[in-house]
Amino acid sequence: MVGETGNQSTVVCALRDCVDIYQRLLAESVPAVLDMADLVLKIFRQGGKLYLLGNGGSAAQAQHVATEFVVRFKNERPGLPAIALNADTSVITAAANDYDFSQVFSRQVEALVTPVDLVVAFSTSASSPNVLEAVRAGRRKGAITVGCIGNTAGQLSDLADVVLRVPSGDVQRIQEAHLLIWHLICELVDNSVVDDK
């Protein structure tokens, strides 16, 4: 049964783990979140776009964040240009079929990204080949690249220009914290865009 002691222990342990991660983010990551919000705002103000990407749950994170910018977060404001590259199934399946799955994002980056844009890559492993190829393509295009990762030592941590690191190796905890971080960034950008009116 759901109410059994073992299940209660699972829930308590998971919540304590979340609290511990968020306390560490509070102690270590506030400047990084503020800097990231400033960077996103700069990109929007200079006419650039955000291109976000990831696999699996990280793909959902990319779509979620893009939606918050395009539609709205809390405040009424103009839509902001953010695109989740994992949302276009026709392009993804064509690139995977005609080339290789490692090229599904990089092909889009080559076609769409300009030097005034920001490429945001979500990867809990920091080593997904298609994510790494997308970041490499973004760098070739002259865009700023961001890696959203956990505490693993994958290649993305060395490849991206900016790294947002969650102090955990647990995939679900990393994804939860990525969403918290990006909600904070959305709120800061929202407030600044509204102040610009």
In a domain? residue 181: yes
Interacting residues of 94 by C-beta distance below 8 A, sequence separation 6+: none
Residue 3 lies in a domain: no
CATH number at residue 137: 3.40.50.10490
Beta bridge partners of 84: 52
Give the tens place of pLDDT for each residue, 26-62.
999 999 999 999 999 999 999 999 999 999 999 999 9
Is residue 13 situated within a structural domain?
Answer: no
Q: Produce one character per residue of 87-106: b if its CB has 16 or more CB atoms within 10 Å, e if not.
A: eeeebbeebeeeeebbbbbb
Task: Give the pLDDT score at 152.
Answer: 84
Task: Please count the structural domains in the chain.
Answer: 1
Query: Which domain does 131 fall in, by range?
Result: 29-196
* Domain-located, residue 114: yes
> Does residue 142 form part of some domain?
yes
Alpha-carbon distance 67 to 147, whole Å? 19
Report if residue 158 sits inside a domain.
Answer: yes
- What is the largest distance, in Å, between two alpha-carbon atoms of the chain? 56
Any domain includes 157: yes
> 106: closest CA among 81, 140, 58, 153?
140
CB 177 within 8 A of CB 25: yes
Name the pLDDT band for 6 (thresholds 50, 70, 90): confident
How confident is the model over 64-112, as pLDDT tens digits?
999 999 999 998 999 999 999 999 999 999 999 999 999 999 999 999 9
Specify if 5 maps to a domain. no
Question: What mean pLDDT do residues 5-23 have?
Answer: 92
What's this model's pTM, rounded to 2 decimal places?
0.94
